[in-house]
A and B are shown apart, each in its own frame.
Chain A
Amino acid sequence: MRRARLLGRGLGSLLGLLVAAYILAPFLWVAASSIQPEKELFRVPPRWIPRVLTADNYRFVFTGQFPAGYEETGIARGRISEKARDALPALRNSTMVAVSVAVTNLVLGTMAAYTFSRLRFRGAGSLYTFVLASRLLPPMAVAIPYYLIVNRLGLLDRYAALVLIHSVFTLPFSVWFLTLYFRRVPPDMEEAALVDGCTRLQALLRVVAPMTAPALAATAAFSFMFSYNDFPFALFVTSTIRSQTIPVIVANTAINPDVSFGVVAVTVVLTMLPPVAFAMIFRNYITRGLIAVTTTR
């Protein structure tokens, strides 16, 4: 019996390791590529464990110093995609936009969800359905109209354009998600707060919000990631490094005829850092929030 249990546990661990390896392998491959010279990446047969390591790719992205061998062609400048050097400002832009979208979702989404979950007013059902239905629109169907609106507002190549567009796409999910969560919270404590003289907003901020922290964290994470990963809208409404985000810069680097895949790998590694940091900090809240909502009927 004990042996069977141990065997089962061992098999479970093995399966877990296999799944982890399957998920992590691409990331490890990219990380390994970022510390190898370009030539090594195309060695046939490939080396699964790198033998030649270099910091040249990182040095190029951070300082502009060309990796070894790139200036020996006779061309005055090495043929390597300089666009990769925009990765750092693009990371800043991505983080600023994604954090703004997360905050917008928390503020507007919380208030809207609280209203739908607690207040009865005329048209509430239709409005809720409309908010949910707007989520069904394929993003590319509205790309050109959004571009024209943003252009008309004079917001092209501004953070505000991306924050507006990303919020439009993320808010329906946030409202739905938080509404479900708020409905799980017993109204007794808020009612007690209201009796004690709190306004609705104060009750929301002081009583409901602390109790629903996991759901708020999950909402923030979802909206952050949507915004951080967006490529098509960022491509259309940004045009300089003043607002270009990291997916745009990675794409521009990767499709350049002068591309160095080692340098692209550096930009990908840098891209992964902010979301990983975000997930590490809020992982407990996010997991609890998602579990709570998915088990709600």
Chain B
Amino acid sequence: MHVRALVASLAVLMLTATAALGAAPVQLTFTVWSYSTDVILDNIKKFEARYPGIKVSLQDFAWEKYTDVMTARFVGKTPTDLAYSSDHWLQQWAAANWIVPLEDYFPQVKAYKPDFAPYAIEGMTYRGKLYGLPYYADTIIFIYNEEMLKRAGFTKPPATWDEVTRMALAMKEKKIVEYPIMFQFQDITPWYIEVFLSMVYSYKNYQMFDASLNPIFDREGTAAHKVAQWLVDGMRKHKIINPASLETTEIPLVKAMGAGQVAFAVLPKYNLADLNTPGAHAQAGKFKMALMPGETHGTVGFVRFYAMTKMAADRGKAVQDAAWKFLEYFGGKTDGKFVVVKRWALEKGLGFAQLPLYQDPEIRAAINKWGNVSLEEEQAKVARAKEALTPFWGTWSLEFQKEMNKALLGQKSALDALKAAAAKWKEMKK
């Protein structure tokens, strides 16, 4: 009897094994914007080696067209299982049901929350539910050219916006640089609003909206008004902000700074690693970060994350299980470690939302070669996610930027520009 049972069990086991071995692998389609696709492909290769039953097909698109392409894919139901997403688009994508809350399918994802920076959790949360695991997260920081500052007679970076003005005027006077400050204020770049908000969040009363999402930033004396007026004065009165800022985007600004044409800039932190690359910039090695000048040194923290699509969720349990393995491998832990996130930090200098990584000696040593890990950690602690992220936020931000540029061009006052932007918000909110 025992022998029969044993033979039967072995037969069942063999059949199961044969079926498992013979089963077609689960195919996942993963869309990304084109950044270091060779690293992504290598990560995919390692993931597939770990999970032989899963195959991942990578598709990449230009960053600036990514949302357009993804919208076409979602509307056209082009097979897409996993995708890079961003706090900018979360509301729109989630409201349209293009991506799904991870918590509904993988309750275990909640265990990761204590590891993540609060601004990153906020940036991945819609209607109280977590929609992703972080690919990378970073802060907008204040970068300065230390040598220029020293030549102007200063030993410490500015701690307030008034000090920024004072130091910039000194540099201008000593003819160290004609326009010490430059921004990426071309009105179509998504970084414009992030930079503006970073400056706003450096004040105590930074709120742009009330609890009902009504704009309050257009009132006299608000943080937004102070920042807008500071920018207008810097460009039109003191002439310390380069007028070319209105036509500048991220890359030209970084190149100009690297060439020694800019002393102060507000940029996403990862640019500091690029600026200190000797092969790329004449001034490499001279760039440092400072806490965002202002009353609280607050700034914007942003997150880019891995999301699972509704299409993947609808494909059934096997695909969902494979998707979770993928999400956890790329944005979570493998054998108790954030392997992929750490790789991005070490190899490309990308920031991270996974706070335990700040304790990793390898990470600390790597960041200190081009930046300042303690300062970075300090800045991350006072970073906050963007307020009032609504499905129309992206469209509104473009309107805001156009209005703000009218003030910088002297066509209207800073307050009038804010009032016009607030009117646009109210119109869109209806």
Contacts and interface: CB of A to CB of B under 8 A. Distances in A.
Nearest to A41: B255
Interface stretch (B144-152, B276-284, B333-341): B276-284
Interface string B269-312: 01101101111111010000000000000000000000000000
Contacts of B349: 73, 75, 79
Given A235-B62, A240-B59, A147 B34 contact: no
Contact of B75 (A80, A144, A157, A248): A144
Contacts of B61: 235, 239
B279 A147 contact: no
B76 A39 contact: no
Nearest to B69: A236
Interface in B320-369: 346-349, 366, 368-369
B35 interface: yes
B278 A240 contact: no
A240 B58 contact: yes
Contacts of B259: 42-44
A59 B218 CA distance: 54
Interface residues of B, number: 52
Nearest to A251: B62
B112 interface: no
A145 to B, nearest CB: 10
A26 interface: no
Contacts of B77: 151
A148 interface: yes
A116 interface: no
A240 B56 CA distance: 13
Contacts of B314: none
Contacts, number: 131
A83 B36 CA distance: 7
Interface residues of A, number: 44
Q: Which of A38, A74, A80, A248 has the most CB of B within 10 A?
A: A74
Interface in B249-282: 250-251, 254-256, 258-261, 270-271, 273-274, 276-282
B247 to A, nearest CB: 16
A73 B369 contact: yes
A43 B64 CA distance: 28
A212 interface: no
A42 B34 contact: no
Interface in A166-209: none
A78 B277 contact: yes
A257 B72 contact: no
A115 interface: no
B76 A79 contact: no
A68 B279 contact: yes
A69 B280 contact: yes
Contacts of A67: 279
A229 interface: no
A71 B277 CA distance: 8
Interface in B47-73: 57-65, 68-69, 72
Interface stretch (A11-19, A104-112, A215-223, A258-266): A258-266
A243 to B, nearest CB: 11
B395 interface: no
B64 A73 contact: no
B105 to A, nearest CB: 25
Given A77-B348, A157-B59, A257 B76 contact: no
A70 interface: yes
B34 A256 contact: yes
Q: Which 10 A-B pairs have the closest CB atoms?
A: A69-B279, A74-B369, A239-B59, A42-B259, A252-B34, A70-B279, A69-B278, A76-B347, A77-B347, A73-B277
Interface of B: 31, 34-39, 57-65, 68-69, 72, 75-78, 250-251, 254-256, 258-261, 270-271, 273-274, 276-282, 284, 346-349, 366, 368-370
Interface of A: 37-39, 42-44, 66-80, 82-83, 85, 144, 147-148, 151, 156-157, 235-236, 239-240, 248, 251-252, 255-261
7 contacts: A43-B282, A44-B260, A69-B279, A69-B284, A76-B346, A77-B39, A79-B277
